[in-house]
Amino acid sequence: MAPTRPGAVGRFRLPRPARRRVHETYVRGRGRLRPGPDPATRGEGIACGLLQMVRAEGESMNTAAPVSLVTGANRGIGRETARQLAALGHTVLLCARRQADAERAAADLALDGPGTWMPYRLDVTDAAGVTSLAHQLEADFGRLDVLVNNAAINYDTDQRAVSADLDDVRRTLETNLFGAWRTAQAFLPLLRRSARARVVNVSSGSGSLEHMSGGTPAYGVSKAALNALTRKLADELAPERILVNAVCPGWIATDMGGPGGGPVEQGAAGVVWAATLPDSGPTGGFFRDGEPLAW
């Protein structure tokens, strides 16, 4: 079957171990999926149609395109960041805690528009898993150009610092701070092989010491710490021209942000801005919509 056809708007590639499961089953035709020649796997639906495209596109990976990894990219701002980066021509490693969620998000994005998304399982609290993915990506790509530390939990509006459950605070730091930290450490060897490495820590105005007030203690402290980590990494990596910045996406209507916030497109745009900074761009900064924020 021809690798390109009307309506085949996006590419969704499985990483190597999963790719072995792929069958030529469904192709995406003019705006709809129709079964391919292998009746054994008919009924697997949209994902199979896209998997067929994977196979049709061949086994080799396009290493000329920037390779960008987004954590927590199965929904919310992470997913939209993955969409926008792919629209700019990046090969996006779309990471989620569960492989099925990563695959579903990649498949959905591929239906909506052009781009290349590769789904990977990555739980940023799983040190062994993070290391293992770094090894896999070394084999698959040999480098990483952009790391977006987006995954986060627990906007704890129900807590106060004076009485916060410290186990809950610790659990929050494990994802929001240590998750980003261990991911940056693990992928640093791959980032060092890029000519234009960028790290974006998706932070929050809640982490700004200047504007900090009471409430949301676990979340606020985790983001203040992430901001501090941003400064540390940026300073240490400046001689290597690896740009590291923290970005607040603003109040955005997601599962975390709740209703009333801005659209994900707007939140992700500021993240993508920091992910695609020119070599002359800033490092060690804190930004919202591309404008500096007070620490």
Ligand X SMILES: NC(=O)c1ccc[n+]([C@@H]2O[C@H](COP(=O)([O-])OP(=O)(O)OC[C@H]3O[C@@H](n4cnc5c(N)ncnc54)[C@H](OP(=O)(O)O)[C@@H]3O)[C@@H](O)[C@H]2O)c1
Tokens 């300073």 sit at which residue?
Answer: 235
C-beta of 91 vs 254, nearer to ligand X = 254
| 133: CB partners within 8 A, 6+ apart | 95, 120, 121, 122, 186
Interactions with ligand X, residue window 40-59 (CB under 6 A): none
DSSP letter at 240? G
Query: Catalytic site residue 219?
Result: yes
Pairing status of strand 146-149 against strand 67-70: parallel
Query: Catalytic site residue 232?
Result: no
Of the residues 55, 88, 251, 282, which one makes contact with ligand X according to CB under 6 A? 251
Residue 261 pairs in a beta bridge with none
- Where are the alpha helices (H) located in the chain, listed in sequence order? 16-19, 46-57, 76-87, 99-112, 127-140, 166-176, 178-191, 217-237, 264-275
Q: Least Å distance between CB 239 and ligand X?
A: 28
C-beta of 51 vs 105, nearer to ligand X = 105
Reported residue count of the chain is: 295
Interactions with ligand X, residue window 101-130 (CB under 6 A): 101, 122-125
* Residue 75 in contact with ligand X, rule: CB under 6 A: yes
* Residue 217 in contact with ligand X, rule: CB under 6 A: no
Residue 87: burial class (beta carbons within 10 Å; 0-12, 13-18, 19+): middle
C-beta of 36 vs 251, nearer to ligand X = 251
Catalytic choice (26, 120, 155, 219): 219
Q: Least Å distance between CB 101 and ligand X?
A: 6
C-beta of 167 vs 255, nearer to ligand X = 255
Query: Which stretches of the chain bind ligand X, using CB under 6 A?
Result: 71-72, 74-78, 96-97, 101, 122-125, 150-153, 175, 179, 202, 204, 248-249, 251-252, 254-257, 261
